[in-house]
């Protein structure tokens, strides 16, 4: 099919003017390429489960106003700045929404979602990287445009391809504690969107066993159906009892936590830490508000390592893409995830509502 790599003068964007009023679809000048960036036609952009609460101000995420919201997306490069050395027009890319200051490692924003937590980060999002992927075209740093092997990923299996569709590729990989093949990993809570992804990535990375913790028994049953290596443990609210159940499964090497906002008082933190082996590792990637009580002395005596991570590095996302390309990590229906809905920019409200109830086995995307 012939493809045009011309940028139109204007394009449609979904703009947030203020959290007090509905988002608006507007016509805007199309972004132009320059040194260090590429302009990409957005094919499908992800919608996270709590988008509605972010953009209506219920979750007090800091971001500039007005701006174009968005998330991780799949798109096609249309034009690049003169210093692009790899990207070419037409290249299918994953747009990594973690934008970093090139001269400051502590400046990090999540494009379309949050302006970060220091002045340097704010400078990035209030200036050059204000607008994100809920638009027909978007401008992204060259290093955030992750090239995808379209022929292999989207090609039919009869031609040796993996047969994915574009929307299947919006997924996230997590590994910040150096998980090694054969190791036992606890994931808690494993029944949410990112928890389930973490279980799948751990399996693809060769984890010996993945212990998936959660409160929802139906979601736990669906996780144990993924693979014989997945063992589920219910979070009952009895810290000691759950710790004993985990310990009976043998000491775990690592624990990946992806707890949401409201889970600070959950008992699973303490149960999972109690079940780790000496020198075990803990990866904290969730967002429980209000702080969590940790067993200080126990952590000290057992030489445990606690590591916090916001998002992921470019190297990690490249190895995630490699995992998918190799066929070790299955996405989309092959990975038990179906596309719940594809929504146009005008249907942003329906998209946010659908994402809020979709659960971890369904993906909601905006297709501008
Ligand atoms: N560090 C990073 O880079 C990064 C990146 C993305 C997301 N996050 C964080 O990850 C968190 C989770 O995101 P998500 O999209 O996976 O959320 P989600 O799909 O809404 O899932 C939330 C999970 O938490 C469980 N849960 C809710 N309340 C709980 C409680 N009181 N006690 C125990 N479990 C509870 C839910 O299980 P039930 O079915 O039992 O309710 C579900 O498994 C977000 O808060 C976000 O801040 C961090």
Place 169 in a pLDDT band, splitting at 50, 70 and 90: confident
Place 224 in a pLDDT band, splitting at 50, 70 and 90: very high
Report the CATH number that the domain containing residue 192 is assigned in CATH.
3.40.50.720
Count of structural domains, the chain? 2
Domain boundary among 258, 277, 308: 308
My answer on whether 114 and 215 are in the same domain is no
In a domain, 320, yes or no: no
Report the CATH number that the domain containing residue 101 is assigned in CATH.
3.90.180.10
| 296 phi and psi angles, rounded to 5 deg | -50, -55
In a domain, 321, yes or no: no
Asked if residue 54 has pLDDT above 80, the reply is yes
Q: pLDDT of 251-266, one tens digit each?
A: 999 999 999 989 999 9
My answer on whether 248 and 338 are in the same domain is no
Return the DSSP state at 155.
S
Place 344 in a pLDDT band, splitting at 50, 70 and 90: very high
Q: pLDDT of 269-301, one tens digit each?
A: 999 999 999 999 999 999 999 889 999 999 999
141 CB near ligand 1 (under 6 Å) = no
Contact 78, 5 (CB under 8 A): yes
In a domain, 159, yes or no: no
Q: What local confidence, expressed as pLDDT, does residue 313 receive?
A: 83
From the alpha carbon of 258, which atom of ligand 1 is closest?
10
From the alpha carbon of 266, which atom of ligand 1 is closest?
32
Return the DSSP state at 136.
S
Measure 249 CA to ligand 1 centroid, in angstroms: 24
261 CB near ligand 1 (under 6 Å) = yes
Q: What local confidence, expressed as pLDDT, does residue 250 receive?
A: 86
Nearest Cα residue to atom 23 of ligand 1: 192
359 CB near ligand 1 (under 6 Å) = no
Q: What local confidence, expressed as pLDDT, does residue 334 receive?
A: 84
Q: What local confidence, expressed as pLDDT, does residue 2 receive?
A: 40
260 CB near ligand 1 (under 6 Å) = yes
Q: How many residues are recorded in the chain?
A: 368
323 CB near ligand 1 (under 6 Å) = no
Q: What local confidence, expressed as pLDDT, does residue 1 receive?
A: 40
My answer on whether 210 and 131 are in the same domain is no
In a domain, 319, yes or no: no
SS3 for 80-97 is ECCCCCCCCCCCEEEECC
In a domain, 80, yes or no: yes
My answer on whether 19 and 85 are in the same domain is yes
| 106 phi and psi angles, rounded to 5 deg | -90, 0
Asked if residue 173 has pLDDT above 80, the reply is no
256 CB near ligand 1 (under 6 Å) = no
- How wide is the angle at C-alpha 351 spanned by C-alphas 346 and 356, nearest 5°? 155
In a domain, 174, yes or no: no
Using the structure block, give the residue that is written with the tokens 């008992």: 267
Task: Extract the runs of DSSP E, i.e. beta strands, from the chain.
Answer: 10-15, 24-29, 37-46, 73-80, 92-95, 98-101, 104-110, 137-141, 145-147, 184-188, 209-214, 230-234, 252-257, 276-284, 305-308, 338-343, 362-366
Q: What local confidence, expressed as pLDDT, does residue 332 receive?
A: 85
Cis peptide before 12 (omega within 30 of 0): no
Percent of the chain beyond pLDDT 90? 80
My answer on whether 31 and 116 are in the same domain is yes
- Under DSSP, is residue 273 helix (H, G, I), strand (E, B) or coil? helix
Contact 122, 108 (CB under 8 A): no
Q: pLDDT of 105-157, one tens digit each?
A: 899 999 999 999 999 999 999 999 999 999 999 999 999 999 999 999 999 98
E strand or H helix at 355, and its extent? Answer: helix 348-358
In a domain, 18, yes or no: yes
My answer on whether 32 and 108 are in the same domain is yes
My answer on whether 89 and 135 are in the same domain is yes
Q: pLDDT of 72-100, one tens digit each?
A: 999 999 999 999 999 999 999 999 999 99
Return the DSSP state at 63.
-
Give the integer Cα–Cα distance in Å for 80 and 326: 28
My answer on whether 299 and 256 are in the same domain is yes
For ligand 1, mutation pick of 189, 265, 282, 292 (most atoms within 8 Å of CB): 189
Using the structure block, give the residue that is written with the tokens 């594809």: 342
My answer on whether 133 and 199 are in the same domain is no
235 CB near ligand 1 (under 6 Å) = yes
Nearest Cα residue to atom 28 of ligand 1: 263
52 CB near ligand 1 (under 6 Å) = no
Percent helix, strand and coil across the chain, each rounded to 5?
A: 30, 30, 45
Asked if residue 56 has pLDDT above 50, the reply is yes
Asked if residue 42 has pLDDT above 60, the reply is yes
Domain that holds residue 267: 184-308
Q: What local confidence, expressed as pLDDT, does residue 123 receive?
A: 98
My answer on whether 150 and 192 are in the same domain is no
Nearest Cα residue to atom 3 of ligand 1: 311
Distances (CA, A) of 261 to 60, 289, 354, 365: 12, 5, 20, 23
Measure 236 CA to ligand 1 centroid, in angstroms: 17
Which tokens belong to 27? Answer: 């016509």
In a domain, 313, yes or no: no
From the alpha carbon of 264, which atom of ligand 1 is closest?
31
My answer on whether 261 and 210 are in the same domain is yes
My answer on whether 111 and 239 are in the same domain is no
For ligand 1, mutation pick of 54, 233, 257, 260 (most atoms within 8 Å of CB): 260
Distances (CA, A) of 340 to 166, 218, 337, 360: 14, 18, 9, 11
Q: pLDDT of 154-167, one tens digit each?
A: 999 899 999 998 88
């Amino acid at each position: 099919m012939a493809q045009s790599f011309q940028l139109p003068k204007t394009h449609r964007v979904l703009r947030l003017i203020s959290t007090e009023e509905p988002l608006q679809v507007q016509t805007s000048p199309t972004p132009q390429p320059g040194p260090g960036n590429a302009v990409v036609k957005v094919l499908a952009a992800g919608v996270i489960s709590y988008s509605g609460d972010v953009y209506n101000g219920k979750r007090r995420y800091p971001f500039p106003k007005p701006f174009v919201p968005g998330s991780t997306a799949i798109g096609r490069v249309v034009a690049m700045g003169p210093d692009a050395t790899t990207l070419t027009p037409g290249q299918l890319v994953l747009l990594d929404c973690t934008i970093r200051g090139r001269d400051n490692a502590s400046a990090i924003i999540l494009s379309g979602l949050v302006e970060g937590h220091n002045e340097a980060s704010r400078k990035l999002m209030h200036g050059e990287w204000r607008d994100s992927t809920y638009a027909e075209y978007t401008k992204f740093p060259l290093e955030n445009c992750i090239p995808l092997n379209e022929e292999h990923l989207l090609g039919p299996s009869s031609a040796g391809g993996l047969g994915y569709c574009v929307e299947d590729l919006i997924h996230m990989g997590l590994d910040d504690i150096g998980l090694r093949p054969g190791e036992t990993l606890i994931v808690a809570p494993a029944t949410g969107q990112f928890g389930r992804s973490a279980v799948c990535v751990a399996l693809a990375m060769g984890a010996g066993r993945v212990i998936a913790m959660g409160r929802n028994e139906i979601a736990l049953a669906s996780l144990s159906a993924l693979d014989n290596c997945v063992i589920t443990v219910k979070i009952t609210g009895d810290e000691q009892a759950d710790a004993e159940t985990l310990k009976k499964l043998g000491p775990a090497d690592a624990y990946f936590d992806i707890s949401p906002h409201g889970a600070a008082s959950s008992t699973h933190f303490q149960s999972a830490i109690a079940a780790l082996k000496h020198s075990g590792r803990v990866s904290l990637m969730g967002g429980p508000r209000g702080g969590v009580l940790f067993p200080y002395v126990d952590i000290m005596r057992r030489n445990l390592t606690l590591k916090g991570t916001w998002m992921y590095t470019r190297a990690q996302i490249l190895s995630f893409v490699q995992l998918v390309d190799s066929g070790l990590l299955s996405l989309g229906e092959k990975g038990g995830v179906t596309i719940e809905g594809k929504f146009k920019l005008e249907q942003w409200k329906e998209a946010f509502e659908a994402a809020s109830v979709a659960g971890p086995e369904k993906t909601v995307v905006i297709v501008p």
